[in-house]
């Protein structure tokens, strides 16, 4: 039976990650993975699989809101999903066959690198770096979507991150979607990719369904609330705070690895 303390911890993890997702649009998943491992004693494999299901729940709520407002163009998203599905299966296989200690080290390095990046600039600046991309040939456009979907699927399934900013960039730049539709499509793709990856990880027994549901509900509630009240000043401050937290968590994971 789950203790009250564990229940509170799961709600805290989901709610905290949800605030970050709502204000920044990304980085919440890696926080979930880290805290499930550090606070609740999950193995890295379990933390990643559980985070993916929680991300599916949270992203589905956001995607539904966008869909209800007719801001999800399903067809282009499906091309990315065609790549994300096999990618997520391969990612789960790679994750399952990577020892927990090595996965912890890799994840620690990833957190430090991501934190350092966030100190420098906004995640949305990725879009600006690819502003010159313009693909007229429709076949090339769809081929690129499948390839990128595959790569994002692998990364999502290995590390528990949903790759929303990359989906957003592809829909906005390559498929020339209006930004609000690109955001809605990215949320839809995040939910699909997280679902594919969750199924793959569940086959290896690395998903705690109860914990994922609790964390996911917490993230969905606070994510939607914080998104409505987000402003640029608060976002900039939160960006720096999250960057510092990611670096600290990454260093802590590496220290634990060396102590093991």
Region 78-104: what's the mean pLDDT? 91
Average pLDDT over all residues of the chain = 82
- Least Cα distance to 23 among 194, 168, 228 occurs for 228
Question: What is the average pLDDT across 45-53?
Answer: 94
Q: Is the pLDDT of residue 130 over 70?
A: no
What per-residue confidence (pLDDT) applies to 136? Answer: 59
Q: Is the pLDDT of residue 52 over 90?
A: yes
Q: Report the pLDDT value the prediction gives residue 31, as an integer from 0 to 100.
A: 85
Extract the tokens encoding 31.
């926080």
pLDDT digits (tens, 9 = 90+) for 238-252: 677 777 887 888 888
pLDDT of 76 > 70? The answer is yes
Reply yes or no on whether the pLDDT at 179 is more than 90.
Answer: no
- Read off the pLDDT of each residue in 49-64 and give the average, rounded to a whole number: 89
Q: pLDDT at residue 137 above 70?
A: no
- Of the spans 132-141, 164-173, 211-220, which averages the highest pLDDT? 211-220
Confidence label for 69 from pLDDT (cuts 50, 70 and 90):
confident
Average pLDDT over residues 60-76: 84
What would the two tokens of residue 251 be?
Answer: 């260093």
d(CA 48, CA 95): 9
pLDDT of residue 19: 78
Tell me how far apart the alpha carbons of residues 135 and 99 are, in angstroms, rounded to a whole number: 41
- Does residue 135 carry a pLDDT above 60? no
Please compute Rg for the chain using Cα positions.
17
Two tokens, residue 221: 């509630």
C-alpha separations of 211 from 4, 41, 73, 196 in Å: 13, 12, 32, 18
What pLDDT score was predicted for residue 187?
83
- Is the CB of residue 79 less than 8 Å from the CB of residue 152? no
**High-pLDDT (> 70) share of the chain, %:** 82
Helix (H), strand (E) at residue 181: helix 179-203
Q: Dihedrals φ, ψ of 221, to 5°?
A: -65, -55
Cβ neighbors of 170 (< 8 A, separation 6 or more) are: 80, 144, 145, 148
Burial (CB < 10 A; 0-12, 13-18, 19+), residue 78, is middle
Instruction: Report the sign of the C-alpha dihedral through residues 183, 77, 174, 239, in that order.
Output: positive
* Cα–Cα distance for residue pair 186/164, rounded to 1 Å: 6
């Amino acid at each position: 039976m789950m203790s009250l303390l564990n229940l509170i911890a799961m709600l805290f993890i989901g709610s905290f990650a949800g605030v970050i997702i709502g204000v920044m649009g990304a980085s919440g998943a890696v926080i979930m993975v880290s805290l499930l491992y550090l606070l609740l004693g999950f193995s890295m494999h379990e933390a990643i699989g559980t985070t993916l299901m929680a991300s599916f729940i949270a992203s589905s709520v956001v995607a539904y809101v966008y869909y209800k407002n007719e801001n999800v163009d399903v067809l282009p998203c499906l091309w990315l999903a065609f790549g994300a599905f096999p990618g997520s299966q391969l990612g789960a296989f790679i994750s399952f066959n990577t020892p927990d200690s090595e996965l912890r080290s890799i994840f620690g390095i990833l957190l430090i690198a991501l934190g350092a990046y966030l100190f420098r600039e906004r995640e949305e600046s990725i879009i600006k770096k690819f502003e010159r991309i313009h693909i007229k040939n429709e076949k090339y456009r769809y081929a690129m979507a499948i390839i990128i979907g595959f790569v994002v699927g692998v990364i999502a399934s290995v590390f528990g991150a949903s790759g929303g900013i990359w989906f957003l960039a592809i829909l906005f730049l390559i498929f020339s979607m209006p930004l609000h539709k690109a955001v809605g499509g990215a949320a839809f793709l995040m939910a699909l990719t997280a679902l594919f990856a969750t199924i793959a990880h569940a086959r290896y027994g690395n998903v705690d369904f109860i914990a994922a549901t609790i964390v996911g509900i917490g993230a969905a509630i606070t994510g939607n609330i914080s998104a409505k009240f987000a402003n640029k000043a608060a976002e900039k401050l939160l960006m720096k705070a999250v960057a510092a937290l990611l670096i600290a968590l990454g260093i802590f994971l590496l220290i634990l690895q060396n102590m093991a």
